Amino acid sequence: MEKDWKQVFLTGEFYKAEMAHDLLENNGIHSVILNQKDTVYKIFGDIAVFVNKTNEEQAIEILNEL
């Protein structure tokens, strides 16, 4: 990821990352999902949601409600 992006959510389930992403987008915060899951062994790896560092605190507050 670029240096101005901060991870605000980490999960092992893609649907949870989608929920976090949608919640942030609905609140006006642009977010990106980074899928680091292994394509063969699905139990390895995580899925992270990133936002611009200027929105990090607001995004964390929103996601705490999730």
Query: Is the pLDDT confidence value at 65 over 90?
Result: no
- 20 within 8 A of 9, measured Cβ to Cβ: yes
How far is the C-alpha of 17 from the C-alpha of 11, rounded, in Å?
A: 7
pLDDT at residue 2 in the model:
67
Torsion angle of the four alpha carbons 6, 8, 13, 19, in this order, in degrees rounded to the nearest 10? -110
Tokens, residue 10? 């980490």
Give the domains, in start order, of the chain with CATH numbers.
Answer: 5-64 (3.30.70.1530)
pLDDT tens track for 23-37? 999 999 999 999 988
pLDDT tens track for 1-58? 568 999 999 999 999 999 999 999 999 999 999 998 877 776 788 999 999 999 999 9
- 31 within 8 A of 24, measured Cβ to Cβ: yes
How far is the C-alpha of 66 from the C-alpha of 63, rounded, in Å?
A: 5
